Amino acid sequence: MVVGAQSDKLLVRTKATPLATQKELSDFLAEVERRAYKQALFSVRDDHLALDVVQDAMLKLTVNYAARPVAELPLLFQRILQNTIRDFFRRQKVRALWTTPISSLFGPESDGEADPLETLEVADDSKFSEPPAQSVERSQVLALIEKALESLPARQRQAFLLRYWEELDVAAAAKIMGCSEGSVKTHCSRATRALAVMLRKQGITL
């Protein structure tokens, strides 16, 4: 009777969360490939190595989790990608060297726990019809932000990319990074402050 009950529960769960088809998995990988490559490139800073990392992560997802529900794929892939990046550094025995103390980039008013993403207002659709000059300016600013991201400590960059680039909430980012939600907020806050300092040096105030 117990076995039958467990089978019934499994059947109900399977019906409620259909497993990803081969096409859905393929479409998902095609959709996330470019963003994943950007994340890897920010970390390993080499075009070919970044591509290797992404392909390795995609292979792991395909081999180990192809039969999971399609809704679970984004979070699973992010975990695999971040673990693959960490494995890369572990294999290469690379140690990140940061010459500027992070504390010197913050003002005394910083509490280190705020998450700037939570305070941003949602932009309306008007940005999609902005004048060409503003569009070019916005693209230039985004290019500078991408360049500045390369100089951030790994955990700050990771938190920033997960929250802003992948638009994950704090809880999901914390699971991927293997830390508390408070730590995610701290890393994200420090990253945005550091980026603001770097951009101000370029004459840009956000």
Q: What is the mean predicted confidence (pLDDT) over 152-174?
A: 89
Burial bucket for residue 181 (CB in 10 Å: 0-12, 13-18, 19+):
middle
Least confidently predicted of 48-52, 61-65, 69-73, 117-121: 117-121
**Structure-model confidence comparison of residues 31 and 3, the more confident one:** 31
Percent of the chain whose pLDDT exceeds 70: 67
CA-to-CA separations, 185 to 52, 129, 193, in angstroms, rounded: 30, 32, 12
Least confidently predicted of 58-62, 70-74, 92-96, 190-194: 92-96
* Separation of alpha carbons 57 and 23, rounded Å: 18
Indicate if the pLDDT at residue 202 is higher than 60: yes
Q: Which pLDDT does position 109 carry in this prediction?
A: 44
Indicate if the pLDDT at residue 192 is higher than 80: yes
Confidence of residue 1 (pLDDT cuts 50, 70, 90): very low
Q: What is the mean predicted confidence (pLDDT) over 107-126?
A: 47
Domains and CATH numbers, the chain: 2-92 (1.10.1740), 102-201 (1.10.10.10)
Number of H helices, E strands in the chain: 8, 0
CB 71 within 8 A of CB 17: yes
Crossing angle of helices 181-201 and 170-177, rounded to 10°: 100
* Separation of alpha carbons 43 and 59, rounded Å: 19
Indicate if the pLDDT at residue 36 is higher than 90: yes
Indicate if the pLDDT at residue 170 is higher than 70: yes
Confidence of residue 75 (pLDDT cuts 50, 70, 90): very high
Closest alpha carbon to 34 in 167, 165, 168: 165
Give 74's contacts (C-beta < 8 A, 6+ positions apart). 28, 32, 166
* Separation of alpha carbons 132 and 129, rounded Å: 9
Give 184's contacts (C-beta < 8 A, 6+ positions apart). 115, 159, 162, 163, 170, 173, 174, 177
